[in-house]
Amino acid sequence: MTNGRHPDEPRDADLITRLAIRRRISRRHFLAGTGAGLGALALAGCAPAPAGSATPPAGANLGDTLNLATWPNYHSQDVLDNFTADTGVAINVGVYGSTEEMEAKIRAGSSGIDVVVPSNYAIEGWVADKLIEPLDYAKMPTFVKADWNSRFMDQAFDPGNEYSLPKNWGTTGIAYRSSKVTEDITTWKQFFDLCANKYAGRGLIVDHQISSFGSAAVAMGFSLNTIDPKEMAEVEAMLIALKPKLFAISSDVQPPLRALDTWLSVAWTGDGVQVGRDNEDARYVVAADGGELWIDSYTVAADAPHKDAAYAFIDYITQPAQAAKETEFCLFPHANDKATALLAAEVSDNPVIYPSAESLVKLEYAVNATYNSAERAEAWARIKASA
């Protein structure tokens, strides 16, 4: 696959920063200070089997520090503390609001970051620009490939998982309140039609070009990842016409949906979990006509100052017991099937967290060309700036 850079715009730190400013958003922003803590409290007493040890390979020199670049409230503090207790390595958790922010940090050099958790669409470009290194599986002795779900492994953005191992995955879907929306919404086409007409003023789309522009493209019969100029122009025109009929373009999905200021919204897995748990009439749907499937993955920064500690950490936190604890904390599904088998039924049987395999068939991973498309970023900026 092409990396999607415009031929007149070489990849550099300034470009990444400019694009980050245009696109900056966290799919997990809603978790900060809310969902993760509530989820951990609700599932207390449902913890999986005791954690294994974080025993490094013979000869490893772990040191006393590990620097982790990750998302808000994405890790169980118990799991992190157990790693420190086993190894003596203190974990410095750096919280980032977007993959773009992580990228700008490591691209600038001398970041001090050891382990970084990007979304799938960045990995191909990071590999091409040598921002992350090939994983040394000899330093991860507990890794068992057969434990992992093939749907989330060996993907085009990282064939053979040479550079990345999944942490959690999820979907971009449709959240709505059935006490106000009388239809059973099943497709993106239906969602955008309802936002423009019957429920004008009550719809919300997220401030993220991949998720909202991509979902609109699917509604119009195009790929989530379209960079075809004609198709992008059609999507842009549709969204510009729609914008005055929306409640907002905002990634703060939950507050207006909870307050019934909005009745239907583009949303992410976690929004569906949280709002649905607290409101009986809340629904979350993976659209039948396609949309976004995403993965966040563990990677090792190419200039990581504590590489032995980085590998010991990834080896430890991807073991099924630890992975299950992480999943019960953050309430995003895991790609390790043995971890899923250890989960409390409230998590593993929740169709919002773990949608059916059939519902995922038409979903696409956003690709590096979409992530780095200056044309899509500019179209999205025009949509947001329109009257």
Q: Tens digit of pLDDT for each residue in 183-197?
A: 999 999 999 999 999
DSSP string, 42-67: HTTT---SPP---PPPTT----SEEE
Q: Average pLDDT of the chain? A: 88
pLDDT of the residue at 73: 86
pLDDT tens-digit series, residues 125-136: 999 999 999 999
Q: Which of 25-39, 200-214, 262-276, 292-306 has the lowest mean pLDDT?
A: 25-39
What is the per-residue pLDDT for 36?
39
Separation of CA 281 from chain center:
26
| pLDDT surpasses 50 at 10 | no
**Alpha helices of the chain — where are they, by DSSP H?**
13-23, 35-42, 77-87, 99-107, 120-128, 188-196, 214-219, 229-242, 254-258, 269-278, 307-317, 320-330, 337-341, 345-348, 357-360, 368-371, 374-385
| CB-based contact 314:207 (threshold 8 Å) | no
Distance CA 164, CA 298 (A): 6
For domain 10-169+295-355, give the fold: D-Maltodextrin-Binding Protein; domain 2 (3.40.190)
- For position 52, what pLDDT does the model report? 61
Report the DSSP pairing between strands 115-116 and 65-70: parallel
Alpha-carbon separation of residue 232 from 16, 238, 240, 370 (angstroms): 22, 10, 12, 11
pLDDT above 90 (res 35): no
Residue 30 has pLDDT above 60, yes or no: no
**Percent of the residues in the chain that have a pLDDT greater than 90, as a whole number:** 82
Cα–Cα distance between 380 and 370 in angstroms, integer? Answer: 12
48: tokens are 């999986």
Tokens read off for 283: 């629904």
Q: Evaluate if residue 120 carries a pLDDT over 80.
A: yes
Q: Would you say residue 340 has pLDDT above 60?
A: yes
**Chain center to CA of 219:** 21
Return d(Cα 197, Cα 244) in angstroms, integer. 11
What residue has token string 């001090």?
A: 112
Residue 43's pLDDT band (boundaries 50, 70, 90)?
very low
Domain ranges within the chain, ordered by starting residue? 10-169+295-355, 171-292+359-385
- CA-based nearest residue to 372, from 49, 5, 64, 90: 5
**CATH pick for 171-292+359-385 out of 2.60.15.10, 3.65.10.10, 3.30.420.10, 3.40.190.10:** 3.40.190.10
Give dist(CA 218, CA 224) in Å, integer. Answer: 6
| 308-311-316-318 Cα dihedral, nearest 10 degrees | 170
Average pLDDT over residues 55-68: 81
What pLDDT does residue 55 have?
67
Residue 293 phi, psi dihedral angles, 5° rounding:
-115, 135
Q: What is the pLDDT of residue 61?
A: 83
- Residue 45 confidence class, pLDDT cut points 50, 70, 90: very low
Q: What residue type is 167 in one-letter code?
A: K
Check residue 334 and give its pLDDT. Answer: 97
- Dist CA 298 CA 268 (whole Å): 20
Mean pLDDT of 210-221: 97
pLDDT of residue 303: 96
pTM of the model: 0.83
* pLDDT above 60: residue 48: no
d(CA 3, CA 94): 27
Cα 139 versus chain centre, distance: 26
Residue in the block written with tokens 């390979």:
57
Share of the chain above pLDDT 70, in %: 85
pLDDT at 157 (0 to 100): 96
Does the fold of domain 171-292+359-385 match that of domain 10-169+295-355?
A: yes
Residue 58 neighbours by CB distance under 10 Å: 6
